[in-house]
Amino acid sequence: MVLNGIIGAGIFGLPGRLVDAAGDFSPWLILIFGFLTLTVVWSFAALSSYFSDTGGPIKYVSQAYGPLMGFQTGWLLYIGRIAAFAANINLLFDYGAYLWHGVEPGLIRNIFIAFIVVSLTAINIYGVRRAIGAISVLTYLKLLPLILLVLLGLSYIPAENWVPGDIPNLDNTGAVVLLIFFAFTGFESALASAGETKNAKKTLPIALLIILVFSTIIYFLLQLVYVSVAPPNNGDAPLVELGRVLMGPMGGTFIIFVAMFSILGNVAGIVLFASRSSFAMAQEGTLPMWFGKVHEKYYTPSNSLLFQGGLVLILATTGTFVYLAVAGTLARMIAYAISISALPRVRKNATEEERQNAFKIPGGYIIPVIGICVCIFAMTQSELRNWIYLFSFVALGTLLYLLNNKIKKGD
């Protein structure tokens, strides 16, 4: 689940833009940002070791700062996932357009977007086992070909590319910075389902760290192959030309299908975990209980899934991959910073036994402080329009929160 959350659309949309911004130094940027993200993930690993129930960051922040802050954090992550879902669906059809121009932006694309959103929503309503099964299959289908691309391309990497060159001028590259972070986000999705995870306090922290390191290595090697092999100006589907160079004429087509499977696997995970977030907020009493309704036959959060599907459909048919990915990353970074800041209070409120068994961070709170600084740095890279976009959704969430309080007082 962690692997699927991180490795999704980001690596399929990032390489070309990263080369445009940083050239041959771009693989080393991946390592730098992977290391920076490690401070964030390590902090979440420590937080997750104190909890074994559903909710993830919502639980962490609620315990530390109360229900309002817990709700706002959960809502930010929810919006981040919804925006990522919508962004990924657009990238899926950016790759699909190489096979059929009919799915370029327009009415036909919107019809196909609606079909995918409705299908994934229905699968999740019919049961979590079916959803997890679909995610597992799609995760393997996307991971193995990425490793194959790396293995095929290693022999093409010149010796000088294994050593970082001069650091390029990265002025006015805020969107690229956020896209790199976008490629590393999504790890928190698995935390929302801790209540359905065996031995969550021990397995989730280890999974977070192992998969973050593994993903960074895969991203680095793939970017190194890309800058060494791929021709310039590859448009919105940069790995297509890389596939053609490494595997011949059919290689590009192969990569198109790999990308589409990867993105489908990622959005399938988002559908599952984002709906659990809104369901958890309803169970916590911060969203109207309508979101917490469970399907009478399938025991799934049907109303949360339906609301989520409608919101994704609106965003996916009105936005682009880069815009939605950047906005979603901004929302997540704010929520990450708030969550990490809750760690001292969570630790203070824990029992002595819980503190002894918790996942350890060397150096006390140095790594969490660095993690918060990383999140703040990412936030500063966002344009004003993304902040406006985000605040409009924060306002929607606040309205739902206040409406819920009014309903409860009426009861």
Segment 87-103 shows an average pLDDT of 83
CB atoms < 10 A from the CB of 217, how many?
A: 14
pLDDT tops 80 at residue 284: no
Please write the tens of the pLDDT for every residue from 323-344.
788 888 899 999 999 999 999 9
pLDDT tops 60 at residue 392: yes
* Residue 131, C-beta contacts closer than 8 angstroms, at least 6 positions apart: 123, 124, 268, 271, 272
Task: Look at residues 52, 124, 113, 394 and name the one whose alpha carbon lies nearest to residue 273.
Answer: 124
Name residue 296's amino acid. E
Name the band, by pLDDT with cuts 50, 70 and 90, for residue 264. Answer: confident
Separation between Cα atoms, residue 119 and residue 96, nearest integer Å: 18
Segment 254-270 shows an average pLDDT of 80
Give the highest mean pLDDT range of 63-67, 203-207, 214-218, 407-411.
214-218
**Number of domain units in the chain:** 1
Segment 384-410 shows an average pLDDT of 85
Separation between Cα atoms, residue 139 and residue 130, nearest integer Å: 14
pLDDT of residue 100: 82
What is the sign, positive or negative, of the torsion defined by CA atoms of 355, 357, 359, 362? positive
Separation between Cα atoms, residue 83 and residue 3, nearest integer Å: 19
Please write the tens of the pLDDT for every residue from 106-158.
888 889 889 999 988 888 787 666 666 666 776 777 777 788 889 989 988 98
- The mean of the pLDDT values for the chain is 84
pLDDT of residue 183: 86
pLDDT tops 90 at residue 56: no
Name the band, by pLDDT with cuts 50, 70 and 90, for residue 233. Answer: low
More confident residue, 411 or 255: 255
pLDDT of residue 367: 95
pLDDT tops 90 at residue 103: no
More confident residue, 194 or 402: 402
pLDDT of residue 214: 93
* Residue 91, C-beta contacts closer than 8 angstroms, at least 6 positions apart: 9, 12, 13, 236, 259, 263, 321
More confident residue, 304 or 321: 304
Element (H, E) at 325: helix 321-341
pLDDT of residue 372: 96
Name the band, by pLDDT with cuts 50, 70 and 90, for residue 371. Answer: very high
Please write the tens of the pLDDT for every residue from 156-192.
898 888 988 777 776 656 678 888 888 898 888 778 6
pLDDT of residue 54: 67
Please write the tens of the pLDDT for every residue from 187-232.
887 786 666 677 777 888 898 999 999 999 999 999 999 988 877 7
pLDDT tops 70 at residue 236: no
pLDDT of residue 149: 87
pLDDT tops 60 at residue 257: yes
pLDDT of residue 174: 67
Please write the tens of the pLDDT for every residue from 32-51.
999 999 999 999 999 988 88
pLDDT of residue 341: 95
Domain residues for the domain of 282 are: 2-410
Separation between Cα atoms, residue 282 and residue 292, nearest integer Å: 5
pLDDT tops 90 at residue 350: no
| Residue 195 DSSP class | G
184 close to 31: Cβ distance less than 8 angstroms = no
- Residue 136: give its domain's CATH number: 1.20.1740.10
**Tokens, residue 294:** 């469970």
